[in-house]
Amino acid sequence: MNPDAPPWEPRAWLPRYGGRRWPFAVLDVLLVVLLASCLFIEADLGRIDATAPYPLKPTWGLGEDWLLVTYDDPPQPPGQRPMTGAGGRRIDTAIELHLRHDGGRPLLVSLPLRTTATIAGYGVASLRTAYDRGGPQLLIREVESIVHASIDHYVEIGLGGLVSLADAVGGVRICADEPTRVAAPWASADCSTVSGDRALDYLRGGALPHARPGPAERRRRLIAAVIEKATSPDAALEPARVIAFVRTALAVVTVDKGNHLYDLVRLALALCDGAVTAKTIPTVGAWQPGIGQIVGWDPKTMAELVRSFVVDRPEPKGLIPG
């Protein structure tokens, strides 16, 4: 042995005493796994061309606007993607989410499905009829004609899909605003864990007093509860449940073809905002010769709501719990 040779040192790729390198290697592996998972989810999202351009489509408006559609359906079998578009299921709620450009509190408004408007080439139709005839594209076209602002993102999911997501995370805790009738002892003023039929009953409002809370707010609360539980620290200890949740979400959620995973993350954060509650707009009815009964929005509240969507004005005071 050469006494003048430098002292032996461990190879650079081997863990060193004191843990100088191996944590970085573990971090690199985790980042690669996270990136691969995001790419997989991005590629496997169900998509539909909902926000396709058309003549005179609005292109203005501060902030971003989402249209969230739910429809009533039974829970989906694992791996089966739901139908969508014209000739598919009838919608249950149409909810517009406005994200302010300055990062202020989001505005969540349930659009009454009986609302009627005139669509060029289609005549007078309600929101529900627009979806039945032309799917998400015609629905968005009618909504844009009413609010005078562009819908930037679209997502839809069935009530059965929401229940499947709740089941995938082992049920979620839901709190009722007040005690309910004896027919549903699980739904009390206290928080209870719901899943399966109980979650579906909650979404449909069969066990709750009238309009407490409204349909849109029930959907928001369940979605927020599912997201919070799926992203909780405890979920990281059960990777099998996380995988089941992701697989279920990919099977039951449909988004516009221009949406990406980071868009859905922003949507989830908005729905989980504790300061956000779903509201709806009062409606007024009128009889129009040759057409019949039409349903519109309260004029004053509608004017304020349009300004909220277009130029980020404060939430209208005339909105009611939805």
Residues of the chain with pLDDT below 70 are: 1-44, 74-88, 176-190, 206-212, 286-293
Q: What is the pLDDT of residue 188?
A: 47
**For the chain, give me the number of helices (H) and strands (E)?**
8, 14
What Cα–Cα distance (Å) separates residue 18 from each residue in 15, 22, 23, 29, 271?
9, 10, 11, 20, 44
SS3 239: helix
What Cα–Cα distance (Å) separates residue 290 from each residue in 21, 26, 115, 122, 294?
78, 71, 18, 15, 11
User: How far is CA 197 from its chain centroid?
Assistant: 21
Half-sphere exposure of 65 (CA within 13 A, CB side): 27
What Cα–Cα distance (Å) separates residue 182 from each residue in 45, 185, 191, 206, 240?
41, 6, 16, 12, 37
Cα separation of 14 and 24, whole Å? 12
Cα separation of 162 and 221, whole Å? 11
* Ramachandran class of 205: left when φ > 0, alpha when ψ lies in -120 to 50, beta otherwise: left
What Cα–Cα distance (Å) separates residue 252 from each residue in 97, 145, 160, 164, 260?
20, 29, 9, 8, 16
Q: Using an 8 Å Cβ cutoff, are 253 and 230 in contact? A: no
Cα separation of 68 and 95, whole Å? 5
The per-residue pLDDT for range 113-169, each reduced to its tens digit, is: 988 888 777 788 889 989 988 899 999 999 998 998 899 999 999 999 999 999 998
Cα separation of 111 and 113, whole Å? 6
Cα separation of 63 and 101, whole Å? 4
* Ramachandran class of 170: left when φ > 0, alpha when ψ lies in -120 to 50, beta otherwise: left
pTM: 0.80
Q: What is the pLDDT of residue 174?
A: 84
Partner residues linked to 96 by β-bridges: 67, 109
Residue by residue, what is the 3-state secondary structure of 140-168?
HHHHHHHHCCCCCEEEEEEHHHHHHHHHH
Amino acid sitting at position 229: K
Cα separation of 155 and 52, whole Å? 14
